[in-house]
Structure 1
Amino acid sequence: MATIPWLVDVLRSAGVQVVVEGDWLNRMRPGSFDPIGVLWHHTAATSSASNPHPALNICINGRSDLPGPLCQALVDYHGVFHVISAGRCNHAGTARASGPIPAGDGNTMLIGWEIDYNGVSQEMTAAQYNASVAATAAVLKQLGKDSSYARGHRETSTTGKIDPSFIDLNVMRSDVAAKMAGGPAWSSIVDNATAGRFTASTNWGTSSYSGQRYGGDYRFADPVLASDAAWYKFNVPAAGNYRVDAWWPANAGYNASTPYIIATSSGNQTVHVDQRVTGGQWRILGTFALPAGDANRVAVSRWSSAPGLIIADAVRLTRV
């Protein structure tokens, strides 16, 4: 049986914070282990700043129906990698073919990260995502594989697994590829207070009420059946595909169907988001083809039939 005793050193060399959990070099399941890729999961446990790794004990010791270890590493709320095993773990089960990963024994073929968040009412934190991207890039380099060998459990599962929830796995692979190439890729943030980059009519108020805001304040307006858009201007360096992320503070009194307009190479595209929830973090609106040049690229429109304030806070573009 092969093992990966290099795992801790590779993670630390990539700048990932590591905690070694006991005798990780000898904690493993019987059977073959010859990994060719990395598989992302979520634990279904609710983590927090004060309880950052609620599923750690289960991942080490297993459950009544599934003996541990259940992953090579658990990624806690703060993005810390708790390394559990250098060998085979019960995390993937039988795999269906996905990308370059063939059908077969997933526990043999794949190194598993269990990212500790519940995946239903909770997304992974930015720290978890960034650490998992860095770790995946470093491990795939060690294995001599490209970013297509990073998969999500929902892509390989034969039993309908949904993990990891709330992330675009194609974007994840693009981010891993950028990290492997020495990234980060070009990225730019425009906040509502960025000089010369944000425009809105006098119908938009200014507030610092929510602690989930990006920067010192954000803009708000009532919904109307008219656009009256707040625009974010970006100097896009070259025509290409760009991921668009938005940041808003969430509140039960905010709008459930806020329109974001993206001015793409083929015309405007609109994405609706629920600003009552998942605030205080970057949320992916999608990946779009954008032309080069300095122009208004993203807008928040007031045109919504849903009740509640429309919020315009910050927008980020990242080339993928």
Structure 2
Amino acid sequence: MATIPWLVDVLRGAGVQVVVEGDWLNRMRPGDFNPIGVLWHHTAATSSATNPHPALNVCINGRSDLPGPLCQALVDYHGVFHVISAGRCNHAGSARASGPIPAGDGNTMLIGWEIDYNGVNQEMTTAQYNASVAATAAVLKRLGRDASYARGHRETSTTGKIDPSFIDLNKMRSDVAAKMAGGTPAWTSTVDNSTAGRFTASANWGTSTYSTQRYGADYRFADPVAASDAAWYKFNVPATASYRVEAWWPANAGYNAATPYIVSTTTGNRTIIVDQRATGGQWRTLGTFTLPAGDANRVAVSRWSSAAGLVIADAVRLTRV
């Protein structure tokens, strides 16, 4: 059985804040451990600034149906890595092939981060994401692997796991690659319909939790009319440059087949029509546009559609390219 006694030093060398949890060098499950990659998870526990690592005890000691340790490290609300084990852990189970990771025993092949957030109505914090990117880049360098060896549990799971929620795993790998190359991740910002001070809509827009494909706790809906009555997403764009604009909506046969998204660019408003009956529960690219710098309404969902079905406003993301 191999172990990774270098883990703490590698994390600290990458600038990651580390807390060592007890006898981590000897806390492990029996069996082979020869890692080739890193796997991201979420714990399904609700963390907060005052309760930053609610799942730590479970990750160390396990559950009645699954003995611990359940990961090599838990990443708390503040981005602190709590290092639990230098050896094999019960975090990945049977793995299907994903990228360069072959099918097989995920607990043998993969080092696991459990990122402590619930993944239903709570996203990963910026601190958790940045620390996880830095840690993953450092560990993959130590293993002699590239960023394609960073995966999410939902990519390798054979039992339908959804973790880590609310993360674009291709974007994660891009950020890990940039970190490994000595660069910094591209600027990105997400505004949900519930983001304080960043979303505005009239009283004509209702609120729903009906679809499990929603981003965050809920989403907004309205009937189509021959008037814009737009729901706006406000972004503080750091510089005039090209940005990829993506939208997230829950799909349903009763939603609108021709929903207008409006993007406010340096050359005026651009309208993109999408079919919200399909391809829901994921980020969908609306296009790449030159956006002006400044804090202003940048993307909207308009009600002005000739198609039947509810118009949905959920989440929008900008990424500098």
Please give the secondary structure, in 1, of the residue aligned with 2:114.
strand
The separation in 1 between residues aligned to 2:49 and 2:274, in whole angstroms, is: 31
For the Cα contact (< 8 Å) 1:243–1:318, is it kept in 2? no
Matched, 1:213 2:215: no
Deviation by residue 1:167-215 (Cα, 9 ceiling, x = unmatched): 12112112212222222245388x9xxxxxxxxxxxxxxxxxx99336x
- Aligned match of 1:235: 240
For the Cα contact (< 8 Å) 1:260–1:272, is it kept in 2? no
Q: After TM superposition, list the pairs within 5 Å mapping 1:101-112 onto structure 2.
A: 101-112=101-112
- Aligned match of 1:58: 58
Amino acid aligned to 2:35: P
Please give the secondary structure, in 2, of the residue aligned with 1:172.
helix
Offset of residue 300 of structure 1: 2.0
- Aligned match of 1:114: 114
Q: Classify 1:104/1:262 alpha carbon distance in 2 versus 1 (closer, same or farther; 3 Å).
A: farther
For the Cα contact (< 8 Å) 2:245–2:289, is it kept in 1? no
Offset of residue 17 of structure 1: 1.1
Q: Classify 1:145/1:235 alpha carbon distance in 2 versus 1 (closer, same or farther; 3 Å).
A: same
Amino acid aligned to 1:37: G
Q: After TM superposition, list the pairs within 5 Å mapping 1:1-320 onto structure 2.
A: 1-187=1-187, 212-213=196-197, 225-227=226-228, 235-236=240-241, 242=244, 260-262=261-263, 268-269=271-272, 286-287=284-285, 289-290=287-288, 298-303=298-303, 316-319=318-321
For the Cα contact (< 8 Å) 1:72–1:84, is it kept in 2? yes
Q: Classify 1:17/1:272 alpha carbon distance in 2 versus 1 (closer, same or farther; 3 Å).
A: farther
For the Cα contact (< 8 Å) 1:261–1:271, is it kept in 2? no
For the Cα contact (< 8 Å) 1:185–1:318, is it kept in 2? no
Q: Classify 1:262/1:181 alpha carbon distance in 2 versus 1 (closer, same or farther; 3 Å).
A: farther
Q: Classify 1:18/1:99 alpha carbon distance in 2 versus 1 (closer, same or farther; 3 Å).
A: same
For the Cα contact (< 8 Å) 1:24–1:86, is it kept in 2? yes
Q: Classify 1:109/1:306 alpha carbon distance in 2 versus 1 (closer, same or farther; 3 Å).
A: same
Please give the secondary structure, in 1, of the residue aligned with 2:82.
strand
Amino acid aligned to 1:290: T
Q: Classify 1:186/1:75 alpha carbon distance in 2 versus 1 (closer, same or farther; 3 Å).
A: closer
The separation in 2 between residues aligned to 1:19 and 1:316, in whole angstroms, is: 34
Q: Classify 1:63/1:288 alpha carbon distance in 2 versus 1 (closer, same or farther; 3 Å).
A: same
Give structure 2 stretches of 5+ with no counterpart. Answer: 205-224, 249-258, 277-281
Offset of residue 63 of structure 1: 1.1
- Aligned match of 1:280: none
Offset of residue 225 of structure 1: 4.3
Amino acid aligned to 1:317: T
The separation in 1 between residues aligned to 2:23 and 2:288, in whole angstroms, is: 50
Equivalent residue pairs, number: 270
Please give the secondary structure, in 2, of the residue aligned with 1:122.
coil
Q: Classify 1:212/1:294 alpha carbon distance in 2 versus 1 (closer, same or farther; 3 Å).
A: closer
Q: Classify 1:40/1:242 alpha carbon distance in 2 versus 1 (closer, same or farther; 3 Å).
A: same
* TM-score normalised by structure 1 residue count: 0.71
The separation in 2 between residues aligned to 1:135 and 1:287, in whole angstroms, is: 28
Q: Classify 1:138/1:287 alpha carbon distance in 2 versus 1 (closer, same or farther; 3 Å).
A: farther
Give me the CA root mean square deviation: 3.8
The separation in 2 between residues aligned to 1:149 and 1:32, in whole angstroms, is: 19
* TM-score normalised by structure 2 residue count: 0.70
Give structure 1 stretches of 5+ with no counterpart. Answer: 192-209, 247-257, 274-283
Residue identity over aligned pairs, in percent, reads 69
